[in-house]
Amino acid sequence: MDEFMKAAMAEAKQGKKEGGIPIGSVLVKNGKILGQGHNKRVQDDDPVTHAEIDCLRNAGRVGSYKNTTLYSTLMPCYLCAGAVVQFGIKKVIVGESRTFPGAKEFMVSHGVEVIDLNLDECEQMMSEFIAANPQLWHEDIGK
């Protein structure tokens, strides 16, 4: 696992520690983290503060997103994939998509390179969370 996915994992673990959903994200450009965040939907009582959105907010205005890469511990949903496409982020590296397939095809259809690392550590963290909190998880994904 590279340093950027490790940073995303640290964000996910922080979210879990805060009583939230364990998903983390970082935005990288030229080998430097511009922003990082985690899902704060529960903590902030805000349905749109997903990890990727929190990460982008924390990065602030970066001007051009050309040559940026978004890392996420889980395949982005359509909300977050829409932000990726809107801002012109061309590469997304994902920890896993087994627990949630997300919007990979949507991103790919808009020219985004999506790399799924299929990491057991990410999958285990989400599987454990979903098993322990099915109602909260289903609320987050709109079921």
Q: Which DSSP string do the residues of 36-87 spell out, in sequence order?
A: EEE--TTTTT-TT--HHHHHHHHH---S--TTEEEEESS---HHHHHHHHHH
Active site residue 3: no
52, 96, 113, 139: which is the annotated catalytic residue? Answer: 52
Percent of the chain with pLDDT over 70: 99
pLDDT tens-digit profile of 71-84? Answer: 999 999 999 999 99
Q: What is the pLDDT of residue 31?
A: 96
Provide the pLDDT for residue 74. 98
In degrees and rounded to multiples of 5, residue 68 shows phi and psi of -95, 155
